[in-house]
Amino acid sequence: MTNSCSEEASILYTLYCINKQISSKFESCIGMSQSRHDILQQLYQVDEISQTELQKKVNIDSAAITRHLKQLEAVEMILRRKNPEDNRFTLVCLSDHGRKKINSYQAEKARFVTLVFKDFKEEERQELMDMLTRIQNNISQV
Partner DNA sequence: CATCAATAGTTGATGCATCAATTAATATAC
Partner DNA sequence: GTATATTAATTGATGCATCAACTATTGATG
Residue 76 CA from chain centroid, whole number: 20
Identify each DSSP E strand in the chain by its residue range: 49-50, 78-82, 90-94
3-state secondary structure of 107: helix
* 142 binding partner (options DNA, a second copy, none; Cβ < 5 to 8 Å by kind): a second copy
Nearer to a second copy, 58 or 92 (CB): 58
Least distance CB 46 / a second copy (angstroms): 12
Separation CA 75–CA 2 (nearest Å): 42
Smallest separation, CB 82 to a second copy (Å)? 25
Lay out the site mask for a second copy across 32-71 (x = CB under 8 A, - = otherwise): --x---x--xx--------------xxx------------
- Asked if 61 is part of the footprint of DNA (rule: CB under 7 A), the reply reads yes
* Amino acid, res. 118: K
Sorted by sequence, the CB contacts under 8 Å of residue 34 that are 6+ apart come out as 22, 23, 26, 27
Among 62, 114, 126, 133, binds DNA (CB under 7 A): 62
Complex with a second copy: residue 19 or 62, whichever CB lies closer? 19
Amino acid at 72: L
CA 84 – CA 101 distance, rounded (Å):
29
Of the two residues 21 and 104, which places its CB atom closer to DNA in the complex?
Answer: 21
Mark the segment that binds a second copy (CB under 8 A) among 66-74, 77-85, 92-100, 108-116: 108-116
Check residue 21 for interaction with DNA (CB under 7 A): no
Q: Which of 10, 41, 51, 106 binds DNA (CB under 7 A)?
A: 51
Q: Determine contact, residues 47/93, Cβ cutoff 8 Å.
A: yes
